[in-house]
Chains A and B, each alone.
Chain A
């Protein structure tokens, strides 16, 4: 007898196919029920016969009692071994594990063998914090010794060996078998079964003995069949066989005493019941029954016994079956579940959705992406700063830097919406730094917020400081302004607004200035950086353009009530909301900070319809006023447009030029100067006043009789 007849049967391993809902469910169970227990968990999985060979684990795996296996699939018992640390996962001897799981049961009795032949191992390490799962699936199969592989001598497509009626009969018989199994609570197709041309029986020693006794003619030849997960594929010579065949053959040898015998095996690949759906309609093709009859030589029992290291020790069995990873290396697989489990991810999506719905339903030209990328600088983290930040978050602004020198004090939380009492208690009641506290608070609201708080004291005219101090503050603030797309000026004194105004003009940035009185508020957008006189639209004014005196130290000699900015609480949110909305409108205008304002005098009462006619309209978000002044006494608002003042102490051309040339000198001198003399000179205000005084004096000469009217 030629030992080397035929060919070595190639086997195709299973691929794991674990639905992500299964993992979601597992992670939940882990948190709630399983916790730290490493006991094995019994679940159900299945594989189909439509190919390619996949062992699928679905969410219903956890429902032991009611879990349903579809009619065209084979149910499998899945044992899940969870690990609590990645080291224990790695260190665990997998070869040993799969051996101990399979070999003892398999060799013990035919019943236990049949049970374990239909079982799968799944090692899992859930890394819950990063929403990932590491898993390794093993489908056990007992291994023949080297050189003793299963060999086949003949391969025949079933369609050639049996008639069409016989094949139809076979299908019917298998279906009846499946149904009779239903009564025993075993669902789905039977993984292994005995087949003759006339009948089909469940796979067991008893049925085999029965059939053998009844068998009289060659037509009753018993064929050992298994559902082949490889599915119907065009048949090649030496066609690879499904993994279950390995254990089937081993069973024949160990429990049916068929070692060294030649038997017929049926790789059952029925006509397509389900198939992989392509996005186009499939053009058909012959997908009929592709079952294969294989004549194989069953190895003997000794062919499964591996010599031990010590010749005297009992022989061992080896079990293989751990799945290779996507690159065909023996290792586990990671599944990234972040899209499903990361609640931050969900929060971000939800916030985005909100804005996008607004865009979709109401304002199609809204540029949500731009908003998200806009870098905003908030100068001041007080009542105005907190409220502006809060509104901007709603608009999707995710890139904010906040500048403030102070600490959160006990009077702050009630009016400054980003702070809590916790912030005040910090450092024995000193309080947290406002800028940092505000930045952190924003991160607790929007999951993808990128915020930063910077402690900085703004150099102010009339407040002398050392040169070093000024240089440091100026360079930091200058860099911040330069980097920002929009700047909000939300401080509490007039003079602190001077330097940022100059910087924004020098760098030509959007700057929105908000200021509060006791019961009135102002929001003003500064004109664009100093521009030519020749442009059609005159440059818009800044906060200081209406002033004929330079800013100076307004804080000395103030009474207590003058030292704290006392305003009606409702003002800050109103002004802040206006300021934030103004910025968003501005961002949607093609000219941005150079966008024109409504003609002076045209803004009487606000009218919703006026918006579209006005040339200063930004489009869907309406007009963009230059300034808005509101009063809580009369509940009125007005929106004047004021052009820039040629000799403004903050935005006049000479000042800006001086800044661009030698910023440190300019700032230092302005700070040192008392009574604002330096700035008045630099901006030309002094000269202007002198001219004006002359003209008034000239006018006085006309009428010397009126001495009380001036």
Chain B
């Protein structure tokens, strides 16, 4: 199983965390805190923004957003905002028991938070556990956007659940999930996350998980209230998500098509090179040049193989996982709608009752509570939306830059192959040596 190097950890300007060697990190970039650290004041209800490892978090204050964005670079870390929770998912292992076979992943946590008893934890979790965590988060933070998990069900006949590729893709997605949660100013303080990261055994809670599954989240999603007036900004969000999903679908199709075309090109290329080799056998002086060309083509062919594989493994899965992220966002929007609808309904009912009892001037408390909930939900959603937008921007920047990189590497390999063959082509038999200067 491959133990992948996780994304480099961010540095903290204040703590010596940057000097701490990550348990898995073989090549760790030495990170320097940037001098112009800005203490970003948070809005009410949120703690200090922590900068994530790899997926930076945006605050809701616009001025800091742009400055952060300006300094964002791929895999480079930001300056020393207080970061006190780092999580990583790696080291997948297969477990075989009498009942079932499954994969567990190692979850490593490093933190200075007081909510945690120890500064470091290492636990083993399986997909089920991540699912449990997500459900718990959804239940306890119904108004927040919970990052998605990779697909739960895979058709046993179609996909090999234990293939290196599948496991690695899943691991990456789980790692991303946990990092997004850990970077969230509210979610990261959730007690269930704490348990997930630190508890030796989650088994005892499985039962509870099943029961609580039918909890509040369902109510908020399927609430039977009808929404009257949705604020424009939330409508715009919904529209955007729809159109964005469409674009992602198109990009996915294009990427698949390219991979297909490249494979067909590869087939022809594999036949092309050997013809030169065969020809070389019939020739005397041209034998060297022809064989050189043939081996050059073989090199280009294997470079193309790598490109296609990289695109299949790195590009497509991430693209597809984003669709899930969009779905999560849509669900949150829907929840918000329902909360607002509930409020509106209660308000209307209260207004009715008010008419009947003309003396009552007070707004009933449960309507007030509803109103508060609406306000709270809207605020949470807006900040989550901003965060989501930024994550999206970072993720796609990384994804597309990765795609460009893969292609550049492919062309560089081919270029090297062809350039190395030129002196061979120009070189003649020993009797006619020429000294050439480039």
A and B assemble together? no
